[in-house]
């Protein structure tokens, strides 16, 4: 399908969800929801979409409209440089829409207050629900985003030498991903050396790599609007401590078990439990202090999650990470992470060549 066909299919899915709840209009202001729906990325707060029975009306700055008419001719456009929420209310009245909703979870305070004053209702997060299950097109883009990240890992691996700094290696990873077509990192790239690997979310510094210490890297990129995420841990040197070997092996076993457990129908809670039990039974449960994984898509953290708070079954098309870890404060830590997609019968690792 081309862009217009994909967008119209998604608009149709959205209008069906709206109709089931008695809505004839839906206001969309979040830029990633707008991008998902119609494939046009407009800067935050510079556009408001109105989805209605006849299509999508986009109220945006006048300077965008000529370009959008060429690239996205299936939408209606209204030029408005200021007070777009007020203009949206006028358009809704002109179209005679009676039951209009907005996504309160995605709305800012000012617009949400104004929309409620107009009598619009707080609706479900329909687009977020649709975004949780990826179609073949979405998955192929995420696959490429993951491939870019994996290739960057392989390309920079020889650069990890004594004296190189954490921030230099962050820059090397990001440079490699950009050269391959990524627009930007999907989150702040993390490179940790030594006892920094014992910090779950270490902030990289100008610390220099020494011989015989641990390394952990956590990184990903955004490609055509979709994120990737992966983590690698290893020992740099020839005197790997026995405890490091032990926890690396435990994390690796838990990582494999978590991926093997993923399939349609199993809950995120149960996937988390499979991996967590391995680490807990070995006496390191208190040092695995985060969920097993999170959804990945247009945002680096989205639903569904592999964690104890998710009783819902995974579905084919969910893209979700598996990232067990053990972190020993003041010593070292290990985390191994892959981005996976739920298939008909199990899970496929996407962070590969």
In this prediction, residues 275-294 reach a mean pLDDT of 98
Per-residue pLDDT band at 337 (split at 50, 70, 90)? very high
**Domains in the chain: boundaries:** 3-131, 136-349
Note the pLDDT tens digit of each residue in 174-188.
Answer: 999 999 999 999 999
Is residue 171 predicted with pLDDT exceeding 90? yes
Domain 3-131: which topology? Creatine Amidinohydrolase; Chain A, domain 1 (3.40.350)
pLDDT at 1: 78
What is the CATH code of the structural domain delimited by 136-349? 3.90.230.10
Backbone phi and psi for residue 87, each to the nearest 5 degrees, phi listed first: -65, -35
Q: What does the mean pLDDT of the chain come to? A: 96
3-state secondary structure of 267: strand
Is residue 22 predicted with pLDDT exceeding 90? yes
In this prediction, residues 20-34 reach a mean pLDDT of 96
pLDDT at 201: 86
CA distances, 99 to each of 11, 26, 77, 120 (Å): 18, 9, 21, 7
The reported pTM is 0.93
Q: Which of 103-117, 256-270, 276-290 has the lowest mean pLDDT?
A: 103-117
% of residues, the chain, pLDDT over 90: 96
Per-residue pLDDT band at 353 (split at 50, 70, 90)? confident
- Equal CATH topology for 3-131 and 136-349: no
Angle at 38 between CA 35 and CA 41, to 5 degrees: 35
């Amino acid at each position: 399908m081309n862009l217009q066909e994909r967008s119209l299919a998604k608009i149709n899915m959205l209008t069906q969800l709206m109709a089931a709840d008695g809505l004839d209009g839906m206001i969309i202001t979040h830029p990633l929801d707008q991008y998902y729906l119609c494939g046009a990325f407009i800067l935050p707060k510079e556009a408001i979409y109105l989805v209605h029975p006849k299509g999508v009306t986009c109220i945006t700055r006048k300077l965008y409209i000529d370009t959008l008419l060429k690239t996205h001719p299936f939408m209606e456009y209204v030029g408005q440089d200021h007070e777009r929420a007020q203009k949206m209310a006028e358009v809704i009245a002109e179209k005679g829409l009676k039951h209009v909703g907005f996504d309160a979870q995605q709305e800012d305070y000012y617009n949400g207050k104004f929309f409620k004053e107009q009598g619009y209702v707080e609706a479900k997060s329909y687009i977020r629900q649709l975004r949780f299950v990826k179609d073949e097109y979405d998955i192929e883009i995420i696959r490429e985003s993951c491939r870019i990240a994996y290739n960057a890992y392989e390309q920079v691996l020889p650069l990890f030498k004594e004296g190189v700094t954490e921030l230099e290696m962050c820059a090397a990873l990001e440079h490699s991903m950009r050269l391959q077509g990524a627009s930007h990192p999907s989150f702040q790239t993390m490179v940790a050396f030594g006892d920094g690997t014992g910090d779950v979310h270490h902030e990289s510094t100008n610390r220099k790599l020494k011989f015989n210490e641990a390394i952990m890297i956590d990184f990903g990129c955004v490609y055509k609007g979709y994120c990737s995420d992966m983590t690698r841990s290893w020992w740099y040197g020839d005197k790997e401590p026995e405890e490091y070997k032990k926890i690396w092996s435990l994390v690796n076993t838990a990582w494999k078990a978590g991926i093997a457990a993923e399939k349609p129908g199993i809950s995120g809670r149960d996937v988390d439990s499979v991996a967590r039990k391995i680490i807990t039974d070995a006496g390191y449960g208190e040092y695995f202090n985060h969920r097993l994984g999170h959804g990945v898509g247009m945002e680096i953290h989205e639903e569904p999650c592999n964690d104890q708070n998710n009783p819902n079954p995974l579905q084919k098309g969910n893209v979700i990470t598996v990232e067990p870890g053990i972190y020993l404060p003041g010593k070292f830590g290990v985390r191994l992470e892959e981005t996976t997609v739920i298939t008909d019968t199990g899970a496929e690792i996407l962070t590969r060549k």
